[in-house]
Amino acid sequence: MTAVFKDINKFRSKISDAKGSIGFVPSLGALHEGHISLIKKSLTDNDFTVVSLFLNPTQFNDKNDLKNYPNTFDKDLKILEELKVDYLLAPEPNSIYPDDYTYKVTESKLSNILCGATRPGHFTGVLTIVAKLLNIVNADKAYFGKKDYQQYLLIDNMAKALFMKTEIVPCPIIREPSGLALSSRNLLLTENEKLIAPNLHKVISGDSTIKEMYSQLTDLGFKVDYIEEHWGRRFVAAFLGNVRLIDNVQI
């Protein structure tokens, strides 16, 4: 049975008694196979595994995006119990932000490109919540998927820059058979949009120029935010209807 904690102090008291290595998988909830792959990796690598479910309001620069984000807590808990996860941390917002979000973790270079360029405050919210959770859990390893590659890099660099105990472990992108990268936001796509969405990965995996990729995606019904290349990878963000999708491929 997965032990569920909403009280941070009770969780910290309990986890301090754990004898062995601790793995950690933070999430916003609405768990899918991508999350499950991270959890299974932690279960394999460590004596204990902690998963957090916290829909972090500070990383949403669009209030409608926060409002529409899928909430599947009961289903998520069932998944964690089936996987035999040791601990679930599901704190209330006021317990995570007792300072009313006056103290923040910011980054001044990498966070200004790609998603950071069009989502002001997003990565400050991400880094702040992850720093808080890493301090609370005090895990040996924490697992992040490469779909949010920019986020992974920022978190890894933060952990090293602030001399945090936790090793940040990158894990492969998990895709649907169609090639669409798994995301909780996929639940918000209409049936027709689900048929179109896999083209995002297909287009950026091709040999066309970036300008041609823009045109191809636009013709398919996407509203492209960016297509850029960094760190030997090609990155894309695009809206399909009201849903913002991201992906990246190695080049």
What amino acid positions are annotated as catalytic residues? Answer: 35
| Phi, psi dihedral angles at 5 (to 5 degrees) | -125, 125
**Between the CA atoms of 206, 209, 214 and 220, what dihedral angle is there, to the nearest 10 degrees?**
-40
Which pairs from 111-115 meet CB under 8 Å and 24+ separation? Answer: 111/154, 113/150, 113/228, 113/230, 114/150, 114/226, 114/228, 114/230, 114/235, 114/237, 115/150, 115/151, 115/237, 115/246
Structure tokens at 108: 């001044």
Sequential DSSP letters for 137-167 = H--SEEEEEGGGHHHHHHHHHHHHHTT-SPE
What is the C-alpha to C-alpha distance for residues 206 and 191, in angstroms, rounded to an integer?
25
**Between the CA atoms of 166, 172, 155 and 42, what dihedral angle is there, to the nearest 10 degrees?**
-20
